[in-house]
Amino acid sequence: MSVPVPVSLLVNGERIDAFVLPRLNLADFLRENLKLTGTHVGCEHGVCGACTVRVDGEIVRSCLMLAVQAEGASVETVEGLSDSGEIADLQAAFRERNALQCGYCTPGMLMTAQDLLKHLPAPDRQAIREHLSGNYCRCTGYQAIVDAVEATARMRAERRA
């Protein structure tokens, strides 16, 4: 329990080799060891969604996953998705619609919204609301976020057409 063990993984495409305590969760590993503080910790028990990251393409609560469980995995955080430009349009829609206030839930919200749009390119408002229900926002009341996700889906559909 108290002896660090080696872990190797990709974080935002960069190879990371580290020694971590087995009990260290992925959120704390990203924030404290790698200083990727865009992944936020809101509840530390898997409810609020602020710590949502992508592991091998699927979104997970990084507070519910141990860093050692990410051995060999590819982890992507909001910093990675921002720098790659993958969610630039979604971020622009959030900005235009003021779909964030304090911004603390925003990285997790973007992760989850992008996940929805990848799996369901043309969601209706209720589908958006359902999919985002695991990500708490205390500031906006959600409507602006739903609007921004809906607008992004529409714009992506137009680009595809």
Does 47 interact with another protein (rule: CB under 8 A)? yes
Tell me how far apart the alpha carbons of residues 38 and 51 are, in angstroms, rounded to a whole number.
9
Q: 112, 90 in Cβ contact below 8 A?
A: no
Q: Which stretch binds another protein (CB under 8 A): 11-19, 68-76, 78-86, 115-123?
A: 78-86
Q: Does 54 bind another protein (CB under 8 A)?
A: no
φ, ψ of residue 47 in degrees (nearest 5): -105, -45
| Cβ 120 to another protein shortest distance, Å | 15
Piece of 11-19, 114-122, 132-140, 152-160 that binds another protein (CB under 8 A)? 132-140
Nearest residue to 9 via CA among 65, 71, 77: 71
Contact between 33 and another protein (CB under 8 A)? no
Output the six-digit token pair for 29.
Answer: 């590993």
155 binds another protein (CB under 8 A): no
- The residue (of 72 and 138) whose beta carbon lies closer to another protein is 138
Q: Give the CA angle between residues 134, 140, 129 to the nearest 5°.
A: 40
Nearer to another protein, 72 or 102 (CB): 102
Instruction: Please report whether residue 78 would count as binding another protein according to CB under 8 A.
Output: yes
The minimum distance between CB 98 and another protein, in angstroms, equals 5
**What does the alpha-carbon distance between residue 58 and residue 104 come to, in Å, rounded to a whole number?**
21
102 forms part of the interface with another protein (CB under 8 A): yes
Distance CA 54, CA 61 (A): 9
